[in-house]
Structure 1
Amino acid sequence: MDEPLATLAFIAVLGVTSMLAFSARWFHRRDVLPHLEGWALGDRRFGTGVTWFLLGGSIFTAYTFAAVPGLAYGTGALGFFPLAYTVILCPVLFVLLPKLWTAARETGAVTVADYVRARYDSPALMLVVALTGVLATMPYIALQLLGVRAVLAAGGLYPEGLAGDLVLTAVFAVLAGATFRSGLRVPAVISLVKGVLVFGAAVGVLTVALERLGGFAAMFDSADRELRTDGTGGGLLLDPALHPAFATLALGSALALPMYPHVLTAAFAADSPDALRRSTVAMPAWTFVLGLFGLLGVAALAAGVVAPVGNAEVAVPLLVRELLPELASGAVFGALAVGALVPAAVMSVAVAALFTRNVYAEFFLPHATPKQEVRVARWVSLLAKVAALAFVFGLREQDAINLQLLGGIWILQTFPAVVLGLFTGWWHRSALLVGWAAGMLVGTVLAVAGGFTSVVAIGPVLLYVAVVALAVNLAVAAVFTPVFAGRAEVAG
């Protein structure tokens, strides 16, 4: 750490956030015996404002704020596909989340797998939804840490070797300790800090960058010239051949994201469906700030920032370090670190709730008391964080990215089981299970066979692998539903 003022600002931001995290136990506190709904969902008492901060803080992760500008820096317009999918995402959230909240409340569900169990009376379907959620979420937690490490290293705030690993461990240990005791209340409180810091950082850095580069027109012209002269040849504009890939990436991501356990956990913690509707109506504000970060990737390109090959996500941290004085840059890096703490905490709580309710209590201890469930969930949330740290320190960064790619494909395969039952009773539970298996198999094989690629060629067209797998999933479920329904009628 060769910039003492930046280090001081960074520590100050994390210090204030840590104090708030440990004070979260008093947030919407109720003097009742411990129970999983209280620990994992904050007793479902979060109003519109808190829900908006918590949902936005969970969906828009630290890695997103590093990866989107990195994509824009490296590829131009293609890097803005997350903006398209978050625009689609908002109406999807508006329609789905209130319905799921109501269904969960009516069935007493703490997790989405609880709802699936109640809706279809199928322990098998519940189990695959729960395990898919856990498998898809674990690499996501690791990516938060990888994003923070990359950002801090680029900013000169991450010592090399063991010292740096100890810094990251210490930051995460504070989160782990607070979450262990207070559950979802911790990310609910620090999501307020994240919102203020991230919005302020995006606006402030972009303002300075535009002043330095001479405005939007000059920035885009310079960035376009940089991309045309670095060997890629296409400039900022999107190659028409990539339009189907762009569209299916946006659509598939918009459908997959609401299926992630951390998003549904944040949604189930709202105090009413109306609170969810109001918060999703205001969600485009988060899309706006994500767009600002994308523009920072273009600004880094225009400013001539040189990111290491294969590590484009550090372009914006390098830009911040170049443009801002030490105190300001340290505060920005602190904001990005806080940006990782919120989703990581919600993800660990969601994984813990899924394992406790839908694996441990369902199959190993059916008569678990509420106190036992909370105890197990706390330890599972802690183990999830430890596993994420072990992943970061023990495996290559590309391994986490590859697993996260597979996680996005896998989680979309739970969409039929979770969503279709909200609108119709036609689909058969066994057909949904077979469809899930077909989608998982096809999606995994296509992604791995292509070298862990997110797109696959179907004839002359490039499409997002997860969407292709979902189409197979739905087709198989549609074919088998009348088959299983007919057998049920004969047996009856």
Structure 2
Amino acid sequence: MSGSVVTTAFLAVIGAASLLAAAARRFRTTDTLPSLDGWALADRRLGPGWTWLLLGGTVFTAYTFTAVPGLAYGNGALAFFAVPYTVIVCPLAFVLLPRLWSAARQHGCVTVADLVRARYGSPRLELAVALTGILATMPYLALQLLGIRAVLDAAGPAPATADLMMVALFAGLAVATYRHGLRAPAVISGFKGVAVLGSVAALVWLVLDRFGGPGGVFGAAARDGGPSLLLTDGQQPAFATLALGSALALLMYPHVLTVGFAASGPRALRKATVALPVWTAVLALFGLLGIAAVAAGVRTPPGGAESAVPLLVTELMPAPLAGLVLGAITVGALVPAAVMSVAAATLFVRNVYVPLLQPTATPKRQVRIARAVSLTAKAGAVAFVFGLRDQAAVQLQLLGGVWILQILPAVALGLYVRGLRPGALLAGWAAGMVFGTAAVVREGFSSVVPLGPGGSSLPVYAGLAALLLNLAVAGAGTALSGRRRDPGDPAAARTAGRGTP
């Protein structure tokens, strides 16, 4: 009986989110002609509140809310690198996103690859940035399904029923996104904010009440023989580089930049990023719940540590409340999944389809192709999860973080440093991609790799090591090539050829 109650409450939350997504059309206030600005960026009209909700809802995914506590459940203190990482993101976003928004608006850019083309006049560099963004986004999209699967496993339906529910959820999301673009996840993000904040507050209160405070949670986890709750000397370099590298990588992901470009202006972005630490506090509480799962004696299936919090929810809460909380975590997957599919589709249309296949495509046709690609991206994520082992999606996501970090010099460095050569940036990108991929694969798909000679090597984040090589190659290439025409020259922007979408 309790299982059916959990499932009913879960479906009620999902149904409410679906109704909100269907109502997204009401947020379209003008009857303008179809354009990627309207579909992918919601006409760039998101105010500070909506930007904060959508940016937080996109950055802090459902998989984050299951993977971070899962990592804490299995690995202890190292998992909390996610907290300083998201703290570092806030000032970086405060400085970088408004500047990117202004540059994108000045040149009529819809994607970050558009901006790179406008800045450097290099179709090859534009294509490299676009393909890297798409490649890094697809496994991230699949991970949202893994987060939903972990929740459904805890909710109690039979495996076949759980799979059907997962497909149905993504199908409903696909329809809403197809019709309304970024407006659908923007509307759902408000529901996600309320649901996730309320759920984590209730769950943390129950945990602290059961164990008598945070000290009781950590004490019980230590007595239970769980993972180390203190960083060892060998873990400290990995912790620091993971936090810094992950923060830099996050702001390069297409779904984050899409939300940034959709804001109504730099002031709205600054206000939104100032309030982002609220989401960081929520993430820290989820990390604490991973330790609480150890203290409560939760036993996850082999290789399924991401189920720690959903199983803790069903153990501590009465069935109706457990269903509501599990539904809230699932809604957490719908927002980033929708934004990721929109971002990947827009990159493909603007920076692959139009320049290489159909340079004369009208704005209406661009929107039609983007909608079809967004559907394909979601279908591909579903097929990926069913067709491959869960670990394969995790491994590709680890590589995705390393890959996306390699576009940072082309995207961000050019805003502050003049004279960079596109050929040198492309060479640096290629060097970073090859080195980072080889390092991660060599270590058995671990994002932390040893760096340094022999016995004095330190464990560091592979993406950050690859970025240093990327910067060195780009800097050396620029120095050897000599200074080129000022990249800020308006003539460079005209080489983009697609100034206004």
TM-score band w.r.t. shorter chain:
over 0.9
Residue 160 in structure 1 maps to residue 153 in structure 2? no
Specify the alignment match of 1:477 in structure 2. Answer: 474
Q: Do 2:427 and 2:474's aligned partners in 1 also have CA atoms closer than 8 Å? A: yes
Specify the alignment match of 2:211 in structure 1. Answer: 213
Q: What runs of 5+ residues in structure 1 fail to find an aligned partner?
A: none
Cα separation, 1, equivalents of 2:387 and 2:162: 14
Q: CA deviation at 1:164?
A: 2.4
2:464 counterpart (467, 472, 483): 467
Q: CA deviation at 1:8?
A: 1.2
Aligned CA distance change for structure 1 residues 487 and 361 (closer, same or farther; 3 Å) = closer
Q: Do 1:57 and 1:191's aligned partners in 2 also have CA atoms closer than 8 Å? A: yes
Q: Do 1:430 and 1:484's aligned partners in 2 also have CA atoms closer than 8 Å? A: no
Cα separation, 2, equivalents of 1:68 and 1:347: 20
Secondary structure of 2:482 counterpart? helix
Cα separation, 1, equivalents of 2:408 and 2:210: 46
One-letter code aligned to 1:202: V
Specify the alignment match of 2:82 in structure 1. Answer: 82
Secondary structure of 2:159 counterpart? coil
One-letter code aligned to 1:265: T
Residue 244 in structure 1 maps to residue 237 in structure 2? yes
One-letter code aligned to 1:159: A
Cα separation, 2, equivalents of 1:277 and 1:488: 32
Secondary structure of 2:449 counterpart? strand
Identity of aligned residues (%): 60
Secondary structure of 2:110 counterpart? coil
Cα separation, 2, equivalents of 1:307 and 1:148: 16
Matches of residues 421-436 of structure 1 in structure 2 within 5 Å? 421-436=414-429
Secondary structure of 2:430 counterpart? helix
Matches of residues 65-464 of structure 1 in structure 2 within 5 Å? 65-156=65-156, 158-161=157-160, 163-226=161-224, 229=225, 235-459=228-452, 460-464=457-461
Cα separation, 2, equivalents of 1:36 and 1:316: 38
Cα separation, 2, equivalents of 1:221 and 1:334: 30
Cα separation, 1, equivalents of 2:196 and 2:2: 24
Q: CA RMSD in A?
A: 1.3
One-letter code aligned to 1:342: V
Q: CA deviation at 1:470?
A: 0.2
Q: CA deviation at 1:4?
A: 1.6
TM-score (norm 2): 0.94
Aligned CA distance change for structure 1 residues 37 and 488 (closer, same or farther; 3 Å) = closer
Cα separation, 2, equivalents of 1:164 and 1:338: 15
Cα separation, 1, equivalents of 2:159 and 2:21: 28
Specify the alignment match of 1:6 in structure 2. Answer: 6
Aligned CA distance change for structure 1 residues 482 and 488 (closer, same or farther; 3 Å) = farther
Moved more, 42-51 or 206-215: 206-215
One-letter code aligned to 1:241: G
Secondary structure of 1:212 counterpart? helix
Cα separation, 2, equivalents of 1:65 and 1:376: 33
Aligned CA distance change for structure 1 residues 314 and 45 (closer, same or farther; 3 Å) = same
Specify the alignment match of 2:41 in structure 1. Answer: 41
Aligned CA distance change for structure 1 residues 51 and 487 (closer, same or farther; 3 Å) = closer
One-letter code aligned to 2:98: P
Q: Do 1:28 and 1:45's aligned partners in 2 also have CA atoms closer than 8 Å? A: no
Cα separation, 1, equivalents of 2:217 and 2:365: 58
Secondary structure of 1:110 counterpart? coil
Cα separation, 1, equivalents of 2:470 and 2:310: 40
Secondary structure of 2:166 counterpart? helix
Matched positions, count: 482
TM-score (norm 1): 0.96
Secondary structure of 2:117 counterpart? helix
Q: CA deviation at 1:220?
A: 1.1
Q: CA deviation at 1:367?
A: 1.1
Q: Do 2:402 and 2:437's aligned partners in 1 also have CA atoms closer than 8 Å? A: yes
Cα separation, 2, equivalents of 1:277 and 1:435: 31
Cα separation, 1, equivalents of 2:402 and 2:213: 39
Q: CA deviation at 1:488?
A: 8.7
Q: CA deviation at 1:2?
A: 6.2
Q: Do 2:51 and 2:268's aligned partners in 1 also have CA atoms closer than 8 Å? A: yes
Deviation per residue, 1:396-429 (Å, 9 max, x gap): 0011001000000000000000001111212111
Deviation per residue, 1:183-233 (Å, 9 max, x gap): 00000000000010111111100101111112211111111222xx35x6x
Aligned CA distance change for structure 1 residues 336 and 487 (closer, same or farther; 3 Å) = closer
Cα separation, 2, equivalents of 1:197 and 1:384: 27
Q: CA deviation at 1:286?
A: 0.2
Secondary structure of 2:301 counterpart? coil
Secondary structure of 1:456 counterpart? strand
Q: Do 1:68 and 1:294's aligned partners in 2 also have CA atoms closer than 8 Å? A: yes
Secondary structure of 1:177 counterpart? helix
Cα separation, 2, equivalents of 1:160 and 1:362: 44
Q: CA deviation at 1:315?
A: 1.1
Q: CA deviation at 1:65?
A: 0.2
Deviation per residue, 1:32-71 (Å, 9 max, x gap): 1111100000000000000000000000000000011111
Q: Do 2:419 and 2:484's aligned partners in 1 also have CA atoms closer than 8 Å? A: no
Q: Which runs of 4+ in 1 moved over 3 A?
A: 486-489
Secondary structure of 1:462 counterpart? strand
